A and B are shown apart, each in its own frame.
Chain A
Amino acid sequence: MKSLEELRALKAKVKNDMSLRDGSEDTRVVVGMATCGIAAGARPVMNAFLEEVSKRNIKNVQVTMTGCMGLCRLEPIVEVIDKDGNKVTYVKMNAEKASRVVAEHLVNGRVVTEYTIGAAAQ
């Protein structure tokens, strides 16, 4: 390393991985991973989120999992909860939909209405 700037650049790169241990005010992406979710294909959804978030180096996003919400017929369900606790529930997700949610919702802050529970469950 030849300068302080280089050190800071490295820090920015590695910081994201550590934020998981901070319990900080992150946006959380919660994937339903009970038997129903996994059977409906939640694992590829989870992996797609992890991959997209790392690829785009998005800060302050935690990808985590939860159990069954009771809406098994709509699985895989993904909830995106921002730091103020506002929640958007996406249903019947798959890997492609996951990348789109990352690109539109997490990066640009636009909810992908057509995948949300209000629209897609009909």
Chain B
Amino acid sequence: MQIYRSHVLVCSGTGCTASGSAGLFDEFESQLKANGIENEVKVVKTGCFGLCAEGPIVVVYPEGSMYCRVTKEDVSEIVSEHLVKGRIVKRLLESNKDQQAASADAENTDFFKKQMRIALRNCGRINPENIDEYIAEDGYEALGRVITSMTPEEVIDVMLKSGLRGRGGAGFPTGRKWDFARRSVSDKKYVCCNADEGDPGAFMDRSVLEGDPHVVLEAMAIAGYAIGSDQGYIYVRAEYPIAVKRLEIAISQAKEYGLLGKNILGTDFSFDIELRLGAGAFVCGEETALMTSIEGHRGEPRPRPPFPAVKGLFQKPTILNNVETYANVPRIILNGAEWFSSIGSERSKGTKVFAVGGKIKNTGLVEIPMGTTLREVVYDIGGGIPNGKKFKAAQTGGPSGGCIPASLIDTPIEYDTLIEIGSMMGSGGLIVMDEDTCMVDLAKFFLSFTVEESCGKCPPCRIGTKRMYDILDKICSGKGELSDIDDLYALASAIKNSALCGLGQTAPNPVLSTLRYFKDEYIAHVVDKKCPAGVCKNLLQYRIVADKCRGCSACARKCPVNCISGEIKKPFVIDQSKCIKCGTCMDTCKFGAIVKE
């Protein structure tokens, strides 16, 4: 096959596609042609590099130069400078943005240095629509070894010894799940993949599917061999069109190569995978609801036991693992259980991918060894909080998780320590908050999500979360009483104990954890009728400081409801009865004379 002197990798994950990477690929091809070097340089579409905040991202090898926020106009410069003349375009380099010594190799930037990529190892390196590139990176070697030289028991033994735990949130040991399903006797068993990523802000599964779809297919086939199944289903949300398309391409390529289908690699083992598209209901990420949905029914959970490993999809023994869990499996087979269990901490092995968002410089995807502290993620990898603000808290686990306050920023990130401090690993959304975030408002936001997404089957979740939301709304609008806080506790424990599925049972967590660490903010809302962060509109006032006001009338002219009046060159006043608290006056004032309190 033809080799090239340089590879240009254009990110075509959802993040970079949204910021305009689609046109870059064609632009590179045409610019290369224009310069007559199309036979020397290859342009490749890849999955997500993780640094979505700086997208669209382009990486040029062999130098490994990572160019950020590349526009169509920049392409000709990259081609004529870097690819024709060999001069790296420094102004577009990632590291240049923080005035560090501009490093030409992306691996040396702070964002990547502390990361360890196992699940994401191929994302941003290979072309996800080309099975050959996956195979070049040891792809399907693990499946080949498993089905030609290992017994199902040996496979399960490796998984058990590796210590891999489910990456979807609950952290159940993967090997034990497989072992249960293996022991269930049945004529038919199923392997399912949960790709119904629903937590607000989490997108690591999407990135794996978009950047390395074959790894999921390979791992599912390995799981099928281990438990004795010949049929897999991937339940993926239809809102992930790029992931769906790449999965379809991957499945058809794997079938063409005989790596899925009948008698894989000439053995007796047969395995097939089909896609099922979800309509985007949050509850369908819950395992029993997900299987009900695959069966063609309305996605509602059912009580467990029986557990899926005994009676799952179509009443047959089923295993259901998350995308990221599967993405670890082939590496564990290839490198061995000891290798995997040497990474991470005592009780949490391996790495975890986090989708870091909110008030942080480097929004994006990071994969870190378990046991890394939150401080390292926020400050070293994430680049800290923008605009010189202070770190207040981080929310992990989305609407099922809780917040980690600044006082606990040195907590190692592991399944058990997070639960001890009232949060949870969850699927890996990590939302960073600064001093401008109101914790009551935050709890209200997550509850509004649960209220909207509750499937309505059980009353504790359907009615209970709505009542909790109403109380939070009351507190935020300044009508709260101290007894409301007690009511929140009572409702939370009732819902936790009686809801049907994990979704309802964990719905009160954001309220409980903010109450645990930020009770003073609740009290401030209820007793002092103040919102310390200045977020809850009904609890704040804009006021003009007479000493500082020069009477220029700039604010009065901008006010959309004309509630500011006064004489030129004398202090102006805001009519509080008419003020809608939009904050325009504060943004307009050049003298800092308007305060929010």
Nearest Cβ distance between residue B579 and chain A, in whole angstroms? 58
Find the B residue at minimum CB distance from A38.
B84
Nearest Cβ distance between residue A22 and chain B, in whole angstroms? 9
Contact A7 B140 (CB under 8 A): yes
Which residues of chain B from 132 to 181 have any CB-CB distance to chain A below 8 Å in the complex?
132-133, 135-141, 144-145, 148
Q: Tally of A-B residue pairs with Cβ under 8 A? A: 101
Please encode chain B, from 578 to 590, with 1 for each CB lying within 8 Å of some chain A CB and 0 for all others: 0000000000000
A23: interface (CB < 8 Å): yes
List B contacts of A13 (CB < 8 A). 1
Contact A47 to B40, CB < 8 A, known contacts A4-B145, A15-B136? yes
Find the A residue at minimum CB distance from B147.
A4
Contact A50 B3 (CB under 8 A): yes
Nearest Cβ distance between residue A33 and chain B, in whole angstroms? 6
- Give chain B's interface residue range (CB within 8 Å of chain A): 35 or more
Bound-state Cα–Cα, A53 to B403, Å: 56
Bound-state Cα–Cα, A47 to B39, Å: 8
List A contacts of B144 (CB < 8 A). 4, 7-8
Contact A33 to B136, CB < 8 A, known contacts A16-B3, A21-B125? no
A86: interface (CB < 8 Å): no
List B contacts of A3 (CB < 8 A). 265-266
List B contacts of A20 (CB < 8 A). 3-4, 6-7, 61-62
Label chain B's interface by main secondary structure: loop
Contact B258 A65 (CB under 8 A): no
Nearest Cβ distance between residue A26 and chain B, in whole angstroms? 8
Nearest Cβ distance between residue B222 and chain A, in whole angstroms? 14
B39, B62, B136, B257: the one contacting A23 at CB < 8 Å is B62
Bound-state Cα–Cα, A46 to B39, Å: 11
Which residues of chain B from 1 to 33 have any CB-CB distance to chain A below 8 Å in the complex?
1-7, 9
Find the A residue at minimum CB distance from B148.
A4
Contact A14 B1 (CB under 8 A): yes
List B contacts of A63 (CB < 8 A). 3, 5
B416: interface (CB < 8 Å): no
**Which residues of B line the A interface, CB within 8 A?**
1-7, 9, 36, 39-40, 61-62, 64, 84-87, 105, 107, 125-126, 132-133, 135-141, 144-145, 148, 257-259, 265-266
**Which residues of A line the B interface, CB within 8 A?**
1-4, 6-8, 10-11, 13-18, 20-21, 23, 28, 31, 33-35, 43, 46-47, 50, 53-54, 62-67
Report 28 cross-chain contacts, Cβ distance below 8 Å, ordered by A residue.
A1-B259, A2-B258, A2-B265, A3-B266, A4-B145, A7-B135, A7-B141, A11-B135, A11-B139, A11-B141, A13-B1, A14-B132, A17-B136, A20-B4, A20-B7, A21-B9, A21-B61, A21-B62, A28-B62, A31-B5, A43-B36, A46-B40, A47-B39, A47-B40, A50-B4, A50-B5, A64-B62, A67-B86
